[in-house]
């Protein structure tokens, strides 16, 4: 089944120009959130809308650099489109003016989202984990290349590979790492179980079982049965 890392949408400028938008690269998201955080301190609609317009201007650095100033934003982007930009580019839904007695536009955010806000995110630590891949020359290049969804997807993949390696090494010592960590056999990924059955010619459906590490599974792990490692069925 095809999957996507993030949603992409389109906006239409006042002159009819169509622009594709998606989550901001981290470089621009930093600037966006620095400005957006001021919104909570705004006192009225005019001040709040000015902050949102500035956020839209920052987003346009990535998607449409011809919009350079607040005047450019006001001349080319209407208010509903600004809200759409904020939602798709930063994942923030807004309470739009007029929807409540307090018409000052503010983000729709639960207490849990507040607790897990941008300010509390240890972004340097997260970036450091994937920087060791050696793909980027520096952190600026990394932040210019990835949005948060891409960063988290890469992190998840790295951590999964690391965990699978640890599982294999533990299995060689007779330890079921999933069981040791409180993960039941029912929670084992069905896809991994199927691959284990195929690799072991039906002998096991446990991806931690040493006899499942044959052929491509062994090659992927870096070693295994048929690669200097043997076993005996008792």
Q: Are residues 96 and 14 in the same domain?
A: yes
Q: What is the pLDDT of residue 100?
A: 47
Mean pLDDT of 216-230: 51
- Residue-wise DSSP of 13-31: -TTS-EEEE-SPBHHHHHH
Would you say residue 181 lies in a domain? no
Q: Which of 33-47, 50-64, 114-128 has the lowest mean pLDDT?
A: 114-128
Q: Is there a single domain that holds both residue 22 and residue 110?
A: yes
Mean pLDDT across 67-76: 95
Cα–Cα distances in angstroms (integers) from residue 151 to residues 11, 23, 26, 29, in the given order = 25, 12, 9, 13
Q: How many domains does the chain have?
A: 3
Q: Is residue 136 part of a domain?
A: yes
Contact between residue 45 and residue 53 where contact means Cβ atoms under 8 Å apart: no
Instruction: Tell me: do 50 and 100 sit in the same domain.
Output: yes
At 196 the pLDDT is 60
Domain that holds residue 156: 122-175
Residues 127, 96 share a domain:
no
pLDDT confidence of residue 174: 74
Q: What is the pLDDT of residues 177-188, one digit of tens each?
A: 666 565 554 455
Give residue 112's pLDDT.
47
Average pLDDT of the segment spanning 206-227 = 54
Q: For residue 180, tell me if it sits in a domain.
A: no
Q: Which residue did the predictor score with more confidence, 90 or 40?
A: 90
Verify that 33 and 114 share a domain, yes or no: yes
Kindly tell me if the per-residue pLDDT of 189 is higher than 60: no
Strand partners, 225: 214, 229
Q: Return the pLDDT at 202.
A: 57
Residue 183 lies in a domain: no
Q: How far apart are alpha carbons 166 and 197 in whole angstroms?
A: 20
Same domain? For 200 and 100 the reply is no
Calculate Rg over the CA atoms of the chain: 25
Question: Whole-model pTM?
Answer: 0.66
How does pLDDT run across 86-113, given as a tens digit for each residue? 999 998 887 765 544 445 677 765 544 4
Stretch 151-173: mean pLDDT: 83
Residue 2 maps to a domain? no
Q: Is the pLDDT of residue 77 over 70?
A: yes
For residue 182, tell me if it sits in a domain: no
Decide if 58 is inside a domain: yes
Q: Is residue 127 part of a domain?
A: yes
Which of 82, 100, 119 is the last residue in one of the domains?
A: 119
Asked whether residue 16 falls in the same domain as residue 66, the answer is yes
Contacts of 179 (CB under 8 A, 6+ apart): 185
CB 51 within 8 A of CB 36: yes
DSSP tag of 55:
H
**DSSP letter string, 96-130:** -TTSSSS-S-EE---HHHHHT-GGG--HHHHHHHH
Residues 165 and 221 grouped into a single domain: no
- Average pLDDT across the chain, whole number: 77
State residue 219's pLDDT score: 54
Under the banding of pLDDT at 50, 70 and 90, the label for residue 192 is: low
**62 and 140 co-located in one domain:** no
Which of 101, 119, 137 is the endpoint of a domain?
119
Q: Mind listing the pLDDT tens digit for each residue in 142-155?
A: 999 999 989 988 98
């Amino acid at each position: 089944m095809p999957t996507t890392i993030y949603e992409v949408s389109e906006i239409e400028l006042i002159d009819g120009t169509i622009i594709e938008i998606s989550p901001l690269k981290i470089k621009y998201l930093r600037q966006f959130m620095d400005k957006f955080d001021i919104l909570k301190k705004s006192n009225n609609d005019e001040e709040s809308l000015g902050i949102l317009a500035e956020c839209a201007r920052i987003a346009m650095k990535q998607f449409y650099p011809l919009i350079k100033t607040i005047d450019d934003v006001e001349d080319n982007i209407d208010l509903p489109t600004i809200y759409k930009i904020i939602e798709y580019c930063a994942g923030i839904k807004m309470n739009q003016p007029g929807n409540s007695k307090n018409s000052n536009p503010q983000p729709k955010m639960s207490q849990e989202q507040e607790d897990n806000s941008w300010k509390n995110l240890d972004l340097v630590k997260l970036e450091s984990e994937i920087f060791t891949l050696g793909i980027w020359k520096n952190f600026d290049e990394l932040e210019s290349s990835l949005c948060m969804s891409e960063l988290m997807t890469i992190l998840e993949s790295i951590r999964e590979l690391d965990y699978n390696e640890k599982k294999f090494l533990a299995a060689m010592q007779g330890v079921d790492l999933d069981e040791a960590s409180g993960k039941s056999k029912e929670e084992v990924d069905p896809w991994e179980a199927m691959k284990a059955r195929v690799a072991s010619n039906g002998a096991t459906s446990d991806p931690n079982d040493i006899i499942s590490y044959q052929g491509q599974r062994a090659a992927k792990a870096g070693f295994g049965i048929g690669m200097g490692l043997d076993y005996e069925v008792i």
